[in-house]
Chain A
């Protein structure tokens, strides 16, 4: 049974066996120190990425954003499992109260959410790959929004999202960018130009989404400006998401109701968007 062919197989495996255990003179014990210390926590990784974002000059960076957006303190400590939620929970970041901003022209609100996506990296890559195959994210022009995103307010608000500048991917420093224009008609007018910039770090992905100047007047857009810092960190065989948002909304005297409802509105909207993205991945 162990004829000539079997010996051939054994011989062909030898280089592989050698490679599988590293160079001959380097044993596992030689690199054991790498495993002696506890691994970096997800908070450590998030902090490292955010510090890098803070130091960068080229986008993505957090220059000009509120400090609480760029610090990434306490990453993971309030994270929930995606499969167990019906909407994301956004919590308030430190900032001025509603009463303190009563006379301001613009009402500022900062919120944050953290969650475990309950997906592995291959799952995520598959979804991203499928989205890219749709082609819409690569071309300048209008992006068709999924019906599930708009169905709850389709008679009240008609959003139009356009890609205004072709998406770019820089292989040298592993960054990507795209510019968008978002306009709504109907009960609420919004008109903002948006820049999305991302970078692949060695332990995660950071994306910043910010409105670009000049900011629109109140007559054109209720939303003066916003900044979003979005982290995607593979960790413990899962994907950790961290999203911090700062909104500057023109003051219409309803800061109290807006303040009380914005967390749940964002939470529901983001969950709907994520569900849609994941469904897109599954269907394709």
Chain B
């Protein structure tokens, strides 16, 4: 130990002897001091990191206006209206100023459907799965599905040849843990997804330019006895016309067994009086996908 101490002393003394006292001041000059730059004020707020964005600052990135009409099995059209679909930068959806007129009544579709659109609280990617042809979801509109139910074809259809003649039957069980009234619901059923046509053309009198890459498919639902259609979006039939590039939905036709199972809120009382098979058609009038 003493020897080590003596060695240390020798070293310290030796270093002091070996260097001049002025050396320290040389290397202490500014040339030896790297300093990080100060973050510019203009970029500071950009650099201040937040993983969540202020909801109030959400920007509109895409919008479309659809005509809405509701037809009964007899061919009567008791309601017509317009839906303004706004897609925000976080992919949340709003239906500002969307209304339907049924006889003397004007129905606020924003209020009627807004709650259901918001109930999901945004898109949770973990709830979705894809095999490259069909996007499925394990949870939607208050219902959970085991296995996940088919939701839409695609939605990104790159190689359209993979979709020609696609037909698939998917068995699934829905559970509604917290229905509006009564105990939890559960029921088995099946979904049949059928691609009718690819690269189909579509236009209507309102569009300045039609679409020529439309994939046309249907999604039919069977079973799920005792579960109102509003849970899990259990429509009897869902027919989509979906343009693959640019992505745009020119038309959606939804077939329901009456609206009463789908709409239970007070604002929908007028619609809930429409019974029997009902077809709800959404037809695009104009759209803007440019994000401006």
Contacts and interface: CB of A to CB of B under 8 A. Distances in A.
B67 interface: no
Given A86-B51, A89-B47, A220-B159, A38 B31 contact: yes
A26 to B, nearest CB: 11
B122 interface: no
Contact of B126 (A6, A14, A35, A155): A155
A104 to B, nearest CB: 12
A262 to B, nearest CB: 11
A256 B130 contact: no
Interface in B19-66: 19-20, 22-23, 26-27, 29-37, 39-40, 43-44, 46-51, 53, 59, 61-62
B15 A17 contact: yes
A124 to B, nearest CB: 16
A24 B215 CA distance: 84
Nearest to B161: A219
Contacts of A34: 31
A32 B35 contact: no
Contacts of B129: 155-156
Contacts of B267: none
A37 B34 CA distance: 11
B89 interface: yes
Nearest to B34: A236
Interface residues of A, number: 76
A252 B39 contact: no
A220 B159 CA distance: 7
A79 B27 contact: no
Interface in A9-39: 9-10, 13-14, 17-18, 20-21, 27-29, 31-32, 34-39
Contact of A253 (B6, B39, B90, B248): B248
Given A38-B30, A91-B46, A99-B292, A17 B35 contact: no
A261 interface: yes
Contacts of A284: none
B245 A218 contact: yes
A269 interface: no
A77 interface: yes
Nearest to A186: B130
A21 B33 contact: no
A274 interface: no
Contacts of B47: 78-80, 89
B125 A236 contact: no
A1 B130 contact: no
B290 A256 contact: yes
A39 B31 contact: yes
Given A77-B37, A89-B46, A256 B51 contact: no
Contact of A155 (B30, B130, B155, B248): B130
Interface in A55-90: 74, 76-80, 84-89
Contacts of B3: 5-6, 9
A255 B40 contact: no
Contacts of A264: 51, 53
A98 B291 contact: yes
B51 A78 contact: no
A252 B87 contact: no
Interface string B63-104: 000000000000000000000000101110000000000000
A253 to B, nearest CB: 2
A112 B135 CA distance: 32
A17 B39 contact: no
A239 to B, nearest CB: 11
Contacts of A14: 14
Contacts of B18: 17-18, 20-21
B132 interface: yes
B35 A236 contact: yes
B49 A89 contact: yes
21 contacts: A6-B10, A13-B11, A17-B14, A32-B26, A32-B29, A36-B29, A39-B32, A42-B34, A77-B39, A78-B43, A79-B37, A79-B39, A80-B48, A97-B292, A98-B292, A152-B125, A153-B125, A237-B34, A251-B245, A256-B61, A257-B91
Interface of A: 1-2, 5-6, 9-10, 13-14, 17-18, 20-21, 27-29, 31-32, 34-39, 41-43, 74, 76-80, 84-89, 91, 97-99, 102, 116, 152-153, 155-157, 185-189, 218-222, 235-238, 251-257, 259-261, 264, 267-268
Given A14-B14, A156-B128, A254-B247, 5 more contacts: A1-B6, A2-B6, A78-B47, A187-B155, A187-B156
Rank and list the top 3 A-B pairs by shortest CB-CB distance, nearest first: A256-B291, A253-B246, A35-B31
